[in-house]
Amino acid sequence: MRPHAALLRRVRQLLCGVAGLAALTARSATPAAATPPPPAPRVGTIPTVLGEASGLAASRRADNLLWAHNDSGGEPVLFALDTKGALRGKLRIEGVKNTDWEDIASFELDGRAWLLVADTGDNDGKRKDCALLVVAEPDSAELKPDKELTATVAWRVPVRWPGGPRDCEAIAVDAREGKVYLLTKRTVPAELYTLPLRPADGSAFALPSLAFPPRAAPAAAPEAVLVARLAQILQPTPEQKLLPLPTGKYRAEPTALDFAPDGSAAVVLTYGDTWLFHRTPGQSWADALAAKGEKLAPHGLLQGEAAGFSRDGRAIFVTGELPGASLVRYELPAGKP
């Protein structure tokens, strides 16, 4: 979610100047003798219906297909895009509200493809109705740019934080473990939590049309478990802290998280950087994400908000929340992630 809406409205009036400041903040994190690396390649522009894109995930049913959604207050709709950013279709989730959707994950479970939407944004730290909403991914053959499909919530995972609410804009699913990983935004360092993907007995599948209205998480819902702190993400420099912009003082705040399909790596997007965390066989996600990550080339976005691996795990896509944001693609070298 945009950190300061009023400020950003003013910033948009001076986009050229802001772009220069963004470049300055990137350079300020680089030693004076070094040349800043070029930004990652832009492969397209996301459609105007995604004026506040806040989540991105690759389809598990089709190659070269991405799912995205808007931030708080938008329609409860998922948008299908090709890997150049062109609109391929829409999926409306019935019976729910986009209170503050902040990320999306795709996964396979029991031979089916699913999409999980994280309604977990909480700028004020007051929400008691945060939840993860799971819907079946539709057949890509049914998608058309001018057609809106519908889906109902297959199951819902209430989010309860220990010690009170958290703002969370970054989630990922490990279906093999049966867990959802949630990365907090405003804690320093960022904290990694887990929740069960579904009840251990699988009973959630007995309620295929379940769509709870917003309410406090039931007392029986499990509480999120803290498993790691990401102290390796670089915090803003003193110079960057002087700039009240996403790429300035807020640059270390995580806005997206995704796991490679084969479980070999994770990507963490912050306002300022794109981080790749490698994972060795048998290593836990907690240990992998607590270790030192690899900072990739700058994403170059004024407000990077969404990131996800490609279906084959050989690329990472990144985009931002401002209207007309670019779609950025990182090609991963052979042997990575």
> Is 337 inside any structural domain?
no
Contact call for residues 316 and 327 (beta carbons, < 8 A): no
83 domain-assigned: yes
Checking DSSP bridges between strand 294-295 and strand 304-309, what pairing results, if any? unpaired
Contact 231, 293 (CB under 8 A): no
* Residue 26 located in a structural domain: yes
What is the Rg, in whole angstroms, of the alpha carbon atoms belonging to the chain?
19
- Find out whether 59 and 67 touch, Cβ atoms under 8 Å: yes
pLDDT tens-digit readout, 223-279: 999 999 999 999 999 999 999 999 999 999 999 999 999 999 999 999 999 999 999
Phi, psi of 276 (to 5 degrees): -115, 125
Residues contacting residue 28 through CB under 8 Å, at least 6 positions apart: 237, 239, 240
The Cα angle at residue 91 between residues 179 and 174, in degrees rounded to 5 = 15
Give Cα 141 to chain centroid, integer Å: 26
In a domain, 324, yes or no: yes
**CA 243/CA 22 separation, integer angstroms:** 9
- Split into its structural domains, the chain has a count of 1
CA 101 – CA 52 distance, rounded (Å): 11
Give the three-state DSSP class for 287.
helix
Output the CA torsion 36→297→78→256 (10° steps).
-100
For the sheet containing 315-320, what is the strand order? 42-45, 326-331, 315-320, 304-309
Spell out the per-residue pLDDT of the chain, length 337, in tens: 544 444 444 444 444 344 444 444 444 444 444 677 888 999 999 999 999 999 999 999 999 999 999 999 889 999 999 999 999 999 999 999 999 999 999 999 999 999 999 999 999 999 999 999 999 999 999 999 999 999 999 999 999 999 999 999 999 999 999 999 999 999 999 999 999 999 776 555 333 334 444 444 444 689 999 999 999 999 999 999 999 999 999 999 999 999 999 999 999 999 999 999 999 999 999 999 999 999 999 999 999 999 999 999 999 999 999 889 999 999 998 666 6
Q: Is 336 among the domain residues?
A: no
Alpha-carbon gap, residue 119 to 304, rounded angstroms: 18
| CATH (domain of 142) | 2.120.10
Instruction: Judge whether 81 lies within some domain.
Output: yes
Closest CA to 214 of 135, 156, 151: 156
- Specify the pLDDT at position 37: 80
Domain for residue 259, yes or no? Answer: yes
| Domain carrying residue 303 | 5-331
Taking only the tens place, the pLDDT of each residue in 34-52 is 677 888 999 999 999 999 9
In the 8-state DSSP scheme, what is residue 52? T
pTM for the model stands at 0.87
> Is 308 a member of any domain?
yes
**What pLDDT is stored for residue 73 in this prediction?**
85
Residue 332 has a pLDDT of 94
